[in-house]
Structure formats: C-alpha cells, structure tokens
Amino acid sequence: MKKDKDRQSIFSSYCVLLMKDLRQEMRTRDMLTSMGLYSIAVIMVFGIMFSQLGKNVVILDVAAGLVWVLIVFASLLGLGRSFHFEREQGCLDGMLLAPIDHSVIYLAKVTSNTLFLFAVEFITLPLFWLFFLSAETLPDAFFLSIVPLALGTVGIAAVGTLLATITVHSSGRDVLLAVLFVPVLFPLLYSCVAATSAVLTGNSGWDVLWFNGCVGAASFDVIMILVAWLLYDQVVRT
C-alpha cells in the first residue's frame, strides 16, 4: 500500500510540474517564439547559400547535417531559457523545498522541453522539406527518418535540461551552456546524423547504418536519462 501511495504521489507531482510548464509556455510563448523565429531565419540563410552554390551541391548529401544543425542550435536557444521563469520568480527554491523527489522535477522539465521541441520541428521541418527537398526524388524509406529525429529530440531535451540546471545560477550561463552542450551531445548527434543521412541518400547498406544509428541514439537517451535521474538531486542543490 505504501509503495502504491508513493507511486501515486510521484505521478501526481510529475503531472502538476508538467502542467505548470505547459501553462507557463502557453501564456508567454517565450521558448516557442524564440526557437521558431530562429529556425525560420536559419532556413532563409540556407536558402541564400544554396541559391549561390547552384547545382554544385547535391542537397540530399548535406540535408541530414543541415537538419541537425537547425535542430541543435534552435534547441540550444530554447533550452537555455527553460529555467528562466523559475529563476526570475524564485520558483526553483520553492520546488526544492517541496516534499517531492527532485528527480521528478527533471523528468517533468524534460517532458515539457521535448514537447516544445517537437512543436517547433512540426512547423520548421516541413518548411525545410518544402524549400530544399520537395524537388528531390526521395527514397521510399524516407519516412524512417522520423525515428532518429524523435530519438535525437528526446536526447537533446535530456542533455539540455540537465546542463540548464547546472548553469542556472551561473552569471555566464548562456555561454557556459553553449560550451558544454555540443561536446556532451556529440555521440547522439553522430548517431542521428548517420541514421538520417542513410535514409535520405538511400545508398547501399543504408538499412544497417540507419539501424546502428537508431540503436546508438536510443542507448544514449536511456543512459543519459538514467544518470540524470540518479544524480539530479545533487546537481540541483549545487
């Protein structure tokens, strides 16, 4: 009975914290607006670049890398503000004093950040396809690119949330987050770019490359979330 009550308490705390983040973002639209506008600006820059290069570049060969550059830097901009409201209003101290498992704070924040990233990708990735890939002949397995995109987005949210917690009280938090973010994320990015590129190009052996990339990304997600879950209580108190 006690274990059941504890589980219900953890789940209810998770739901309350998640709804808090969702309601706050729906009121301010701070993260969604900044990430969305940045993504559209990057797509415009890519368009100018390709218009200058003409047919000297095979878009399918570089599309995977460009997609992940777009996702990573847009998410960096948004995740850097994931604790903005808590820091400005002093809510983080209140959450730490609440009688809840602090790891639940991390899980709720990762979930909300993942949903925000998915929302931005839902708008910007179709724009990327419209501008750069709509005239290309894509392989039949193109839809499989959704898998590394989903795995990569979850991993980015997991890493970004943890690093945003570490740097939240730092005076140079934006710079510090940017310095730590990409190196920690490199194994995930390598796997996701490889899997996405394999699907887009459709070269020989693409299925093996796609599978290996997805396994690598999924392994990174599981390890990162478990490590953050176990260490978050110490991290959030530093």
> pLDDT by residue (tens digit) across 157-215?
999 988 888 887 777 777 888 888 889 999 999 999 999 999 988 888 888 999 999 99
Provide the mean pLDDT of the chain: 83
Q: For 111-157, write each residue's pLDDT tens digit.
A: 999 999 999 999 899 888 888 887 777 777 788 999 999 999 999 99
Closest alpha carbon to 186 in 137, 152, 223 = 152
Percent of the chain with pLDDT over 90: 29
**So where are the chain's domains?**
2-237
Closest alpha carbon to 200 in 130, 145, 122, 135 = 145
